């Protein structure tokens, strides 16, 4: 805002008694207060935030990092929607969003506030320069009030209200990111749990194979090298099992930081790998992207920058300062009124206006860049989801049945003494590799769907049910 040289005009009137001076002080002070009240009524009403286009966010920040809430029942299978709901209620991001909203509302109130009146008291000492005159101690005071022009104050309030809309839109962006992070953590944990189950089964089969080899050694149907190789397989599968268990524990610990520290060790996420395929209607997805909360936040930021330009331009108008004063001397009393205003000699706020216009241009360019980024993310996520889900279908329908059949044939032949231990182990490793690829493809497909949802503004958007469930 501009700062100019103040110019004050003081009008002196005839002498009067001190009581009259005090009465004038009181009358003008009341008049100034009434003028401020009337001017405040003439200003724009502070409108509430636009909540129709945004989901409700909690209105007051909690006193602690996590909101106090009753204990959750995590028995049985849980859905990602429930994990997201619990995270929204308990995560510290909720307090940060509420604090940002409260700050924006306070800024609107502050923008509509008037300056405080200024009271000035003075006491002096006169020195007589004539011998027959005595010195005096004159005293007095003044009361003044700075009044903003209506257009200037209205522009300042409009700029603050625009920033409030920015805070609302940014709150939705923060919630969108929180939902996506919880879904990603749930998917990673579910994938790690599936890997643990497969590793446990592999370790069990390896132990059974080692026992069978020991039995065959006892009857002379196997040599010691086969026994040693079977024991090595037991050790290897046990190491893999322990590693998968540690990975699952780490994934669960991450999920607990998002949702609830009381999540049980045996938590089961029911819909992490739901039978779904991504819709290929790119036009509909692109239209959804246009309604993305991030684009809304940037649009509100551009509107706020425009309101700030208007406020900076309105600040060129000089404010008025009105007041009253009274002085008492030995032989006379003086009282009157003052009228002051700024002279825009040294600063006409050209730099402030230029800075606001540059910020507006930057906000508009950022919005265009973000739109391109979201479209790029949409294309990449859509391609990744379709590719991963295509791999899931191919592995499920083609590779997994063949691998299972190979294991069954090799196992039967090994028990009948028609196949060696090496042949059986090779078939098992091939089947394990196929199942590992299937788990990875399902994990990548689920994460790609979340990324697709982030591109269109909803982590659960952009999927339609498949005809057949996945294994």
Q: Residue 190 pLDDT more than 80?
A: yes
Domain ranges of the chain: 5-66+83-125+138-465
Mean pLDDT, rounded, for 22-46: 46
pTM of the model: 0.70
Three-class DSSP category at 301: helix
Query: pLDDT of 280-337, one tens digit each?
Result: 566 667 677 777 888 888 888 888 888 888 888 888 888 888 999 888 887 788 889 9
What percent of the chain clears pLDDT 70, i.e. is strictly above it? Answer: 79
Beta carbons of 470 and 207 less than 8 angstroms apart: no
Nearest to 470 by CA among 406, 407, 395, 408: 395
pLDDT for the residue 277: 57
Instruction: In whole angstroms, give the CA distance from residue 229 to residue 214.
Output: 11
Which of 193, 34, 57 has its CA nearest to residue 114? Answer: 34
335 φ/ψ angles, rounded to the nearest 5 degrees = -145, 160
Q: How far apart are CA 381 and CA 463, in angstroms?
A: 12
Distance CA 87, CA 98 (A): 15
What is 5-66+83-125+138-465's CATH number? 1.20.1600.10
pLDDT of residue 459: 66
Would you tell me the crossing angle of helices 80-90 and 150-218 to the nearest 10 degrees? 130
Structure tokens at 437: 């690829």
């Amino acid at each position: 805002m501009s700062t100019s040289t103040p110019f004050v005009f003081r009008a002196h009137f005839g002498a009067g008694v001190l009581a009259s001076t005090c009465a004038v002080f009181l009358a003008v002070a009341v008049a100034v207060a009434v003028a401020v009240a009337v001017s405040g009524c003439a200003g724009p009403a502070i409108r509430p935030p636009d909540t129709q286009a945004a989901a409700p966010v909690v209105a007051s920040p909690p006193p602690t990092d996590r909101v106090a809430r009753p204990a959750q029942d995590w028995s049985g299978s849980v859905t990602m929607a429930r994990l997201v709901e619990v995270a929204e209620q308990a995560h510290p991001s909720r307090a940060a969003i509420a604090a940002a909203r409260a700050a924006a509302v306070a800024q609107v109130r502050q923008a509509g506030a008037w300056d405080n009146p200024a009271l000035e008291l003075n006491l002096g000492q006169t020195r007589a320069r004539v011998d027959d005159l005595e010195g005096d101690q004159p005293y007095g005071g003044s009361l003044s009030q700075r009044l903003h022009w209506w257009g200037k104050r209205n522009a300042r309030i409009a700029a603050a209200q625009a920033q409030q809309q920015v805070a609302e839109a940014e709150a939705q962006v923060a919630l969108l990111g929180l939902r996506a992070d919880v879904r990603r953590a749930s998917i990673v944990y579910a994938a790690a749990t599936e890997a643990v189950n497969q590793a446990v089964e592999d370790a069990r089969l390896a132990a059974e194979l080692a026992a069978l080899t020991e039995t065959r050694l006892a009857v002379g149907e196997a040599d010691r090298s086969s026994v040693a190789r079977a024991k090595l397989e037991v050790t290897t599968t046990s190491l893999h099992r322990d590693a998968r268990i540690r990975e699952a524990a780490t994934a669960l610990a991450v999920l607990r930081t998002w949702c609830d520290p009381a999540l049980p060790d045996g938590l089961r996420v029911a819909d992490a790998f739901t039978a779904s395929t991504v819709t290929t209607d790119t036009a509909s997805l692109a239209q959804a992207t246009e309604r993305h909360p991030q684009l809304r936040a940037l649009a509100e930021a551009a509107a706020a920058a425009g309101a700030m330009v208007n406020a900076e331009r309105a600040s060129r108008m000089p404010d008025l300062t009105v007041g009253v004063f009274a002085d008492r001397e030995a032989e006379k009393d003086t009282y009157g009124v003052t009228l002051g205003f700024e002279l825009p000699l040294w600063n006409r706020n050209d730099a402030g206006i230029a800075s606001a216009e540059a910020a507006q241009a930057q906000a508009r360019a950022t919005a265009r860049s973000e739109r391109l980024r979201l479209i790029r993310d949409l294309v990449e996520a859509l391609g990744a989801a379709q590719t991963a889900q295509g791999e899931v279908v191919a592995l499920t329908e083609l590779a997994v049945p063949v691998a299972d059949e190979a294991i069954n044939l090799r196992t039967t032949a090994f028990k009948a003494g028609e196949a060696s231990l090496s042949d059986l182990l090779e078939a098992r490793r091939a089947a394990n590799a196929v199942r590992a690829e299937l788990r990875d493809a399902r994990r990548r497909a689920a994460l790609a769907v979340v990324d697709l949802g982030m591109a269109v503004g909803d982590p659960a958007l952009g999927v339609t049910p498949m005809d057949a469930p996945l294994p």
